[in-house]
Structure 1
Amino acid sequence: MIVYSVSINKELVNLMIGTTISRQHENFRQVIQSYYQLTKPRIIPLLLITTAAGMWMASEGQVDPFLLLITLVGGTLAAASAQVLNCIYDRDIDYEMLRTRSRPIPSGRIQTRDALLFAIALGSASFTLLAVFANLLAALLAMSGIIFYMGIYTHLLKRHTPQNIVIGGAAGAIPALVGWAAVTGELSLPAWLLFAVVFLWTPPHFWALALMIREDYAKVGIPMLPVVAGEESTTRQIWVYTLLVVPASLLFIYPLGVSGVVYGAIALVLGSIFLQKAWQLLQSPTNNQLARGLFKYSILYMMLLCTGIVVDSLPITQQLSTALADNLQTLVSAIPFLPFPV
């Protein structure tokens, strides 16, 4: 018994020493990198481009550079805060899934308490920055995004219903409202349409990813649609939402009239490719390569669609479009009228 006790104590001491050595050899750069990874930085740029699109559309292409910088930084801080809180809440399933096990919290590089303080600091900085330099509405919307993402999506929906990403998609669409509100101090119909486009785009985007990693979700009991309903049902839902988002993206042209021919051409081309990829996946629901292709394209689709909004709203684009329309009208009026024979 004594020998066994000594052996156990030696193992505990060695474990404590090993942990101490590991922490002593973790340099400042590695600590910063761990906190950076905690914010899931690859997700944030896609949120910011919808913010920028909202700002450019609201300002008719004449955005105040300082306000743009403040809003994007504030949006980055809010999104980072939400992602850190998500990492804290999902630390148990992150440890179980192979692709997420190396994240800072499940790997032990960052303690839960430290991550929580980091999230609070990020959220507070976001609210202060937006409230002081933009307006209170933009700041409150950014905070509502954090609350919705954590309270509604992560806590209530993610682990309990296969429709989690549908309703939870509202959290990812809020940055578009933040951008519009930062410029105008209010929310009008075009802002809500941009919100709706992002909202409808989210299920095809995320379910394509879920098809690729359905086994991971099944392992930890997350009822993502491919796990609960299977690939065929998921691809049908992807097709339906793609059919909804593409026409919705054209409503900026008519009846709202806030975007013009340049955006229209971009939206039509992008939408046609989106529909084609969704249709191909519908014909072959178990093809992970098609799911991967749709997932990657959905990111490109949203980025280029928002870029189209920005480009179309620029004064120089508006001037060129007007000049082109005038010249076309002049050309048509110069064509002699040839009456049909009676």
Structure 2
Amino acid sequence: MSELTLSQRTQQLPRRHPRAFLATAALAWWGLYQSLNPVSEAIVGALPIDRASHLGGAIQFFLYDTPKVLMLLTAVVFVMGMVNSYFTPERTRALLAGRTEGAANVMAASLGIVTPFCSCSAVPLFIGFVQAGVPLGVTFSFLISAPMVNEVALALLFGMFGWRIALLYLGLGLAIAIVAGWVIGRLKMERHLEDWVRDMPKVAATSGESGLTLAERIDAGLASVREIVGRVWPYILAGIAVGAAIHGWVPENFMAAIMGRDAWWSVPLAVLIGVPMYSNAAGVIPVVQALLAKGAALGTVLAFMMSVIALSLPEMIILRKVLKVRLIATFAGVVATGILIVGLVFNAVL
């Protein structure tokens, strides 16, 4: 009975003492995070392998990066889950409905950073935006930004590479989302929506105000952790395993030769390889980390990462339900061109 009572009290802590819960959780998270490197080194040191060997380096990479990425992901998903309680799909549509292109493309791309929508929600979001009267190009700015420049990508980039790389990625991703959406809007391709989508009656967008308490927003953050982390952790493990293999066994000269800045074809090849892959920021960033450590050029690696996240084949298949082939091809071509330019420019100037 006492254990049950203790469990109930633990579950009710966020509701009864929300500020105390946040402070305690933050301190516990920071303490665990600081212990990751010494613990991983101690574990590898206790194993009957040479730490300086390929296998030793790969194991240490995996043991350190796995909890590191999961902890960073958990923290940022929890915080953004609370923030996202202010940005329901209804409120997002209301913010974008009735606005003209240009400034609306900037707003749509910016909203994509703080909203939790991914390729699996692309169709209902697209339909909702069309019904609310959001221009097609503005809708695409949001659909490009939401998966590519999301809080997970930025938090993991910051944790692994520092604020300069994270801000660089933020600026590049927003630029691609804004310009690509504006270009698609200028092409006036509404006729290439599926007929049933184009003929839907327009409905007024509502703000969807919720008036939640701090405790309820904490509950929303915890629910986001259960949903998002529970869904993406296999991709994280797979990405870190690939990154560990690259870190341990791939020669630096080999990676520099095929993804270095001296190979002009490396950026187009990276985009072509990335498009058919299916992953998200949490799964691909550990691979990016290992590629950079082995001598790959920053522009090439950013192009690869952006193409994996923003131009995934599964998202194209999902969008086929609402878009005709020509509009999908235009969307992919415009975004891919932007990614190519980003990769080539940064390889040339960095």
> Shorter-chain-normalised TM-score: which range?
under 0.3
The structure whose RCO (Cα within 8 Å, separation 6+) is larger is 2
Specify the structure having the higher radius of gyration (Cα).
Answer: 1
**TM-score where L is the length of structure 1:** 0.27
